[in-house]
Chain A
Amino acid sequence: MQFFLEVLIGGLLAGIMYSMVAIGFVLIFKASGVFNFAQGSLVLFAALTYVSLVEREVPAWLALLVTLLAMLALGVLIERVVLRPLVNRPPMTLFMATLGLSFIVEGVSQILWGAQVHGLELGISDQPLEFAQVFVSSFDLFAAATAAALVAGLSVLVTRTRLGIALRAVADDPVAAMSLGISLPRVWSIVWAISGVVALVAGLLWGARVGVQFSLSLVVLKALPVLIIGGFTSVAGTIVAGLLVGASEKLAEVYLGPVLQGGIEGWFPYVLALAFLLVRPTGLFGDAVVERA
């Protein structure tokens, strides 16, 4: 039982990481209907930029600020160069464009900062804390708290600010929003900038856990089933789905893995997502009409 709980909690905390990446997707998908495959490469770029600046003796706060500005600038640049010329093209084309974009971002960040693995120290202790004989890493708790704060911040932004209202208007009906004088390109660039910031947070936490290296960008492949299960448009659904995917894949690996020769973490979330698609194509909380046959 104790072992089960430890696996479960470990999985839940890994799930939070998946959710953080997936939230970046949801923001962009809601506002512009673009399925952003490049989110993983943004996570890599953010973490790599921060860690390389710190390694070059830049003070941490300045490095954070510079990275933040870089992510904002990148978001605006992507809107200008990639999205604007592709307005009104089918979703598949936009998806393929973000695939190309992810190649560019990955290539550029490794040309700029090199391809070696960097350790990232955020100054948060990683000692295990004991709750009723179950060990939980304090770093993972910190990550969970950060994710919670991020979600709270985002929901305030979306529900309580002018920008958030504009954002929801664009998500709801772009044409009506446009006729009310909301500038679509502006909203899009803001959304890309925000999801760049989300990528930064995810990149720092994930990077501190597994080291900053190329495989960070592969986290996008974990975020995809999370999105399907959570529904493409709900931040809350993304969190729940992230927890579900994280917990179930770890449990499956531990309990089902030995029967199936192990290593099933790679495809298990996808099978789960497929099962969800067959039963509930809109996901847990999503209102996106997943196109049906």
Chain B
Amino acid sequence: MSRWVVLVLLAFGFGVVPFVADDYLFSAILIPFLTLSLAGLGLNILTGYAGQLSLGSAAFMAAGAFAAYNFQLRVPGLPLLASFILGGLTASLIGVVFGLPSLRIKGFYLIVSTLAAQFFVGWALTKFSWFSNDNPSGVISAPPLTILGQDLSAPSGRYVLTLGVVAVLTLLASNLLSSQTGRQFMAVRDMDTAARVTGIPILRTKLLAFAISSFYCGVAGVLWAFCYLGTVEPHGLDLARSFQVLFIIIIGGLSSVVGSFLGAAFIVLLPVLLDHAAQGLFSGSLDPGNLENAQKVLFGSLILFFLIKEPEGLARLASVVGQRLVSLRSLRRRPSPRESAA
């Protein structure tokens, strides 16, 4: 995406949205959208760019959230953003541990390792009460969100904080992915033998992809717990969430930064729209269980549709539309016959 579009979007996100949106828009749509975009971006680095499939994104999110919570709790006076980074780093450490089997296996066989991460992390967080500070319910409220004395606990504050973190990390990721490291990821994905022959250290590259990807997922987890839910709990970050993050990148577009955002927007908005549509059409006579099942069928069909018809996802659709618009504009600006004669 061109630099101008990004700048305009950021200016709009920081300068206009906080003043016009209402609390519902912040809490139910914008914050989960940004958080899931970041998680999607994290998975996309690993799966889309480095070609290693993961079904453990939610585990890394949970690890990040709990680590940040514990750092906040146990280190007095730790700045909020520092605990965000420490949470991400902890998740990244766990990611590397579960990425180690990529020494022997690759591609979709890695689902075993990442599923192990998913079940193990979920188990450890529920079984050992130290992680949740011996809280009997296992659900703990997030620490107050203050940065440099500014209280960001209101919905608009949480939105600005989330947007800031996501924007900075996205910028870093998109630079990284077009740097040498990013190209090494793609080389390993596309043909590891060729990558090895050109001197790319395969294992180190894969582990780096795991580390960076899990860092992003971890920070997304911190945002999920601190800014979106306001509570830190492992239950919302289960296998279903991992699938959801995977769906974000399939629908949005594998190996596309923009795709992660489009996919997340799609996955956050679709249920809301479906809910409204169902209420409008059936005015509440529809069983909510059936609505959930219908949603499942719809998501499954969309996955199949995108995999079969548009493997590059919404990102490609968007770029096609963008190109059409540009060519339309240049069409209108086509020089008149007199000009071209001169």
Contacts and interface: CB of A to CB of B under 8 A. Distances in A.
B53 A225 contact: no
Q: How many of chain B's residues touch chain A, expressed as a range?
A: 35 or more
A210 B119 CA distance: 22
24 contacts: A35-B108, A81-B304, A86-B307, A93-B311, A96-B303, A96-B307, A97-B308, A100-B300, A100-B301, A101-B300, A107-B296, A107-B300, A111-B290, A221-B239, A224-B112, A260-B127, A261-B127, A267-B116, A267-B120, A270-B119, A277-B112, A281-B104, A292-B106, A293-B192
Contacts of B164: none
A291 B243 contact: no
B202 interface: yes
Given A100-B301, A261-B128, A264-B123, A293 B243 contact: no
B216 to A, nearest CB: 20
Contact of B246 (A96, A97, A261): A96
B271 to A, nearest CB: 14
B131 interface: no
B108 A85 contact: no
Given A110-B289, A111-B290, 8 more contacts: A95-B53, A100-B301, A101-B304, A104-B300, A107-B294, A107-B300, A267-B123, A281-B105
A119 interface: no
A103 B293 CA distance: 9
Given A111-B294, A278-B101, A262 B299 contact: no
Interface string A64-79: 0000000000000000
Contacts of B239: 221
Given A103-B299, A292-B104, A82 B127 contact: no
Interface string A263-293: 1101100110110011001000000001111
B104 A228 contact: no
A39 interface: no
Interface string A5-16: 000000000000
B293 A293 contact: no
Interface string B91-124: 0000000000111111111011101100110110
B103 A99 contact: no
B158 interface: no
Q: How many of chain A's residues touch chain B, expressed as a range?
A: 35 or more
Interface of B: 51, 53, 101-109, 111-113, 115-116, 119-120, 122-123, 126-128, 192, 202-203, 206, 239, 243, 246, 250, 289-290, 293-297, 299-304, 307-308, 311
A29 B301 CA distance: 22
Given A82-B304, A97-B304, A221 B297 contact: no
A108 interface: yes
B112 A270 contact: yes
Contacts of A291: 105-107, 109
Interface of A: 35, 81-82, 85-86, 89-93, 95-97, 99-108, 110-111, 115, 221, 224-225, 228, 260-264, 266-267, 270-271, 273-274, 277-278, 281, 290-293
A293 B103 contact: yes
A91 B299 contact: no
B101 A277 contact: yes
A224 B111 contact: yes
Contacts of A96: 246, 250, 303, 307
A101 B297 CA distance: 9
Contacts of B246: 96, 99
B112 A99 contact: no
Nearest to B307: A97
A205 to B, nearest CB: 25
Nearest to B301: A104
A86 B309 CA distance: 10
B105 A277 contact: yes
A110 B290 CA distance: 8
A274 B300 contact: no
Contacts of B113: 270, 274, 277
Given A92-B107, A97-B307, A102 B300 contact: yes
Contact of B303 (A100, A106, A278, A292): A100
B255 to A, nearest CB: 12
Contacts of A267: 116, 119-120, 123
A120 B71 CA distance: 50
A293 B297 contact: no
Contacts of A101: 300, 304
Nearest to A268: B119
B300 A103 contact: yes
Nearest to A266: B119
Q: Point out which of B53, B105, B202, B246 has the most chain A C-beta atoms below 10 A from its C-beta.
A: B105
A82 B294 CA distance: 19
Contacts of B308: 82, 85-86, 97
A271 B117 CA distance: 9
Contacts of A266: 119, 122-123
A104 B297 contact: yes
B115 A107 contact: no
A263 B123 CA distance: 7
Given A92-B53, A278-B101, A97 B112 contact: no
